Amino acid sequence: MPNSKTSKPNLVPSKLSLTPRSWAALVAVIVCLAGAGYLGAKQLSGFAATAPTEIICSHGTANGVVCLNRYRGETGANVAVVGYWNSYDLNERFQFQSLPGLCGGHVTTNCPFTVGTGLNNRYLGDDVVQIRDYGTGLCVGNDVFDASKTAEEACNNTSTGSGGGNGTVFIHNTAGHGGTPDYTESRYWSNYYKSPAWLCSANGYPNDPRPLLTNSRTDFGGDCQWHYVSK
């Protein structure tokens, strides 16, 4: 007795037959897809590292302890750097980076401050640094629209100590040298005022992220002292 079921049509051709033009189009699509995947990997490669176990935070006094944080994980020049609680996430990968090409990396009698201000003698021997975000390759400096606030700008060439954005050179005071340990002076603003101008969290609170001050002339104590904190 014949089978009453209607056989289903075979929708898959037994042989794949493509014209030269079709082959060219298929190859183009494959190349585009592969290229897109590669581009995506390159774009994300700088942010794929593990979260930091050591971050830069203030000693904290009136405003509590805050840590350097790239605001909302945004990327690009002039993104705000804020004081935030120690989340140890990918937005807190900041480190002090020595600038050996500027004054040999330490304050001397005639570098890096303007000679005649007395600041070189005051901070003699302290570290000349930039504060680098290893997630973006940018450094803490003056916000383009409000130079008294912190934002990410181009870093200096460590071999020359130059080439960075405004306000990207800092003096980080270390024990046994001129300044009080962990106070961090902005060279840009200290030269401008001819007196110390500190990096401070005077306008930031742990759970209310706000840009830091780069030009504080008021000594807020621990809110102007920055050091590494580990998990």
Mean pLDDT of the chain: 82
Task: Tell me which residue of 185, 203, 181, 214 sits closest to 64, measured CA to CA.
Answer: 203
Per DSSP, the residues of 84-108 read E----SGGG-EEEEE-TTTGGGB-B
Q: Is-contact 186 197, C-beta < 8 A?
A: yes
Other CB atoms within 10 Å distance of the CB of residue 181? 14
Start-end of H helices in the chain:
20-45, 119-122, 187-193
Residue 50 banded pLDDT, cuts 50, 70, 90: confident
Residue type, 61: T
Residue 49 banded pLDDT, cuts 50, 70, 90: low
The class level of CATH for 54-230 reads: mainly beta
Segment (H or E) for 132: strand 127-133
Which tokens is 75 given?
A: 């990327």
pLDDT score recorded for residue 204: 55
pLDDT score recorded for residue 100: 98
Q: Is-contact 160 145, C-beta < 8 A?
A: no
Which tokens is 161 given?
A: 């100590």
Query: How large is the C-alpha radius of gyration of the chain?
Result: 27
pLDDT at 24 over 80: no
pLDDT at 32 over 80: no
Domain ranges of the chain: 19-48, 54-230
Record the pTM. 0.78
Q: Is-contact 91 73, C-beta < 8 A?
A: yes
